Amino acid sequence: MKSQRIAVAGGTGGIGQHVVDGLLEVKEKYSLHIIVLSRSASADLSFAGSSAPVIAVDYSDSTSIEKVLRENQIDTVLSTLSSHDPETFMTIQSNLLTAALNVPSVHRFSPSEYTHDSEALAESIPFLSTKVAIYEPLRKVKAERGSSFEFTSFQTGAFMNYFALGNPKPDGAKALGHLAPFPFVLDLKNRKADIPGDGQRRMVFTAAEDAGKFIAAVTQLDKWEERSIMKSDWLTFNEIVDMAKDLVGPIDVQYNTLEDITARIGGSPPSMANLYLFIYQAIIKGDYEQKRPFNVNDSVDVKPISMKEFLTKWWA
Ligand SMILES: NC(=O)c1ccc[n+]([C@@H]2O[C@H](COP(=O)([O-])OP(=O)(O)OC[C@H]3O[C@@H](n4cnc5c(N)ncnc54)[C@H](OP(=O)(O)O)[C@@H]3O)[C@@H](O)[C@H]2O)c1
């Protein structure tokens, strides 16, 4: 049950464009039909000599999405949607699922996960409960439809691209890929590290470019697991700081206890503005501990970049 006619919802966005790039790279090889859903039509997205049209849908109206999926005989819907407003995010992603389930050709759906494991993290990072909401309906549909419907959650870890933020090389801005800037732990431009805990927790990191390649390869698997777990590397922050020191020189390292982070969050309610501090808390508590195997790395032929290769590429 491989994927051939694929719609990427939110494919004009940060991670979405990496998913589209990964698919376009193998479009010819696997004879894929790829479309990008967006709130507004725009020029085709192109990569590696292939392109995909950007088709307008109204995410507030599932029949508008359904029409496009039906007209294109889509078999796989990949959500890379995001919104700063939690209610909006849940509504638009739920409407996308409703539309997908109404189209007989659709047999695969992937919600917008792109984190370690939202179900394991939601208690520490309240924002992530917006991602969790879709798993109950997905499991229900899977139970009803059996092998004619599959879903998977693409679990990536943190994007290592953020560790090249502020890179001064002439093409340094390219290190972020399509992602929006998100200051996180390392500020190598200013040789600073703001470490959650004692830096000994091991964490999964993925380059956004690798995530795109991994996800494209997963669309060509015969069977989808409920979780598709990928890594480019798996390291402690202390190991990463040691690698970075060899490249940029001494780094001013600040370690933070749970109490330090709680004080920094202050009394404000959870918001995207201090999302990174909630991530820090979850790291300190061990919620990012990797408990399941990297089943994507084990099943596809993609060679990811290591943290050392990534840091050397941008900071040597
Ligand atoms: N693990 C990590 O380090 C990490 C980092 C960043 C993001 N993520 C995750 O990756 C996923 C995608 O995030 P992203 O940063 O790539 O998303 P993004 O670029 O902010 O948004 C993705 C797309 O959603 C579409 N969209 C539809 N309705 C929207 C609305 N009402 N408001 C805003 N956008 C709307 C937009 O496409 P149109 O304008 O074309 O409609 C937008 O380009 C999310 O699940 C996010 O949590 C993970």
CATH number at residue 193: 3.90.25.10
Which CATH number do you get for residue 126?
3.40.50.720
CA gap 218, 148 in Å, rounded: 17
pLDDT of residue 24: 98
Question: How many domains does the chain contain in total?
Answer: 2
Q: What is the pLDDT of residue 177?
A: 97
The residue whose CA has the least distance to atom 20 of ligand 1 is 82
Q: Are the beta carbons of 71 and 55 closer than 8 angstroms?
A: no
CB 214 within 8 A of CB 299: no
Q: Are residues 54 and 93 in the same domain?
A: yes
57 in a structural domain: yes
- Return the pLDDT at 93: 98
DSSP symbol at 263:
H
pLDDT of the chain, 316 residues: tens digit per residue:
899 999 999 999 999 999 999 999 999 999 999 999 999 999 999 999 999 999 999 999 999 999 999 999 999 999 999 998 999 999 999 999 999 999 999 999 999 999 999 999 999 998 899 999 999 999 999 999 999 999 999 999 999 999 999 999 999 999 999 999 999 999 999 999 999 999 999 999 999 999 999 999 999 999 999 999 999 999 999 999 999 999 999 999 999 999 999 999 887 666 667 889 999 999 999 999 999 999 999 999 999 999 999 999 999 9
219 shares a domain with 200: no
Asked if 168 contacts 189 with a C-beta cutoff of 8 angstroms, the reply is: yes
74 and 124 in a single domain? The answer is yes
Cβ–Cβ under 8 Å, residues 304 and 297: yes
pLDDT at residue 271, as a whole number: 64
Domain residues for 266?
A: 158-206+233-291+304-315
Is residue 154 within 8 Å of residue 114, measured between CB atoms? Answer: yes
Give the pLDDT score at 127: 87
Ligand 1, closest atom to CA 184?
Answer: 3
Query: For residue 48, is it within any domain?
Result: yes
**What separation in Å is there between the alpha carbon of 83 and the centre of ligand 1?**
6
From residue 226, alpha-carbon distances to 139, 152, 242, 255 in Å are 9, 4, 36, 36
- Residue 266: the pLDDT is 81
Shared domain check, 224 and 165: no
Instruction: Give the separation between CA 170 and CA 159, rounded to whole angstroms.
Output: 22
Asked if residue 256 is part of any domain, the answer here is: yes
Same domain for 175 and 250, yes or no, is: yes
Q: Are residues 45 and 176 in the same domain?
A: no
Residue owning the nearest CA to atom 33 of ligand 1: 83
Residue 24 lies in a domain: yes
172 and 32 within one domain: no
Contacts of 171 (CB under 8 A, 6+ apart): none
Phi, psi of 149 (to 5 degrees): -140, 135
In a domain, 296, yes or no: no
Q: What is the pLDDT of residue 1?
A: 84
- Give the pLDDT confidence score for residue 265 in this predicted structure: 87
User: Do 169 and 217 belong together in one domain?
Assistant: no
Strands (E), 24-178: 33-38, 42-47, 50-56, 76-79, 108-110, 150-151, 153-155, 158-159
Residues in contact with ligand 1 by the CB-under-6-Å rule are 10, 12-16, 38-39, 59, 80-83, 88, 92, 112, 114-115, 156, 158-159, 180
Beta-ladder partners of 109: 77, 151
Asked whether residue 148 falls in the same domain as residue 164, the answer is no
Q: Where are the beta strands (DSSP E) in the chain?
A: 5-9, 33-38, 42-47, 50-56, 76-79, 108-110, 150-151, 153-155, 158-159, 186-187, 192-196, 202-206, 227-229, 233-236, 252-256
CA of 84 to the centre of ligand 1 (A): 9
Q: How far is the CA of 43 from the centre of ligand 1 (A)?
A: 19
User: Ligand 1 centroid to 91 CA: how many Å?
Assistant: 14
Alpha carbon of 30 to ligand 1 centroid (Å):
27
Q: Are residues 139 and 258 in the same domain?
A: no
CA distances from 170 to 22, 173, 312, 314 (A): 25, 8, 15, 11
Q: Are residues 195 and 213 in the same domain?
A: no
Tell me if 298 is assigned to some domain. no
Q: How far is the CA of 88 from the centre of ligand 1 (A)?
A: 12
Whole-number Å distance, alpha carbon 113 to ligand 1 midpoint, is: 10
In testing the pocket of ligand 1, which one of 8, 15, 62 has its CB within 8 Å of the most ligand atoms? 15
107 and 37 part of one domain = yes
**Closest Cα to atom 8 of ligand 1:** 114
pLDDT in the model for residue 172: 96
How far apart are alpha carbons 96 and 75 in whole angstroms? Answer: 14
